[in-house]
Structure 1
Amino acid sequence: MKAKYYLFIILVVILGGSGIVIFDTVKNGKIDENSQSEEKNKVILYWGEGCDHCKKVEEFISQNKDIMEKIKIEKKEVGKNLPNSLELTARAKECMIDVEKGIAVPFLYFQGECVVGDQPIIDYLRKKTE
Structure 2
Amino acid sequence: MQVETNDYVELKHEILDGMRSYREDLAQDGADAGYGEAEIDECERILERFLASLRNAVADGERVPSRAALDRTARAAVEQTVRALNALNARCRYNLIETDQREGLCELIRSALAEIGALRGEDDPTEDWREW
Higher strand share: 1
Normalising by structure 2, report the TM-score.
0.28
TM-score, scaled relative to structure 1: 0.28
Larger radius of gyration: 1
Which has the higher relative contact order, 1 or 2, with Cα contacts under 8 A spaced 6 or more apart?
2
Larger helix share, 1 or 2: 2
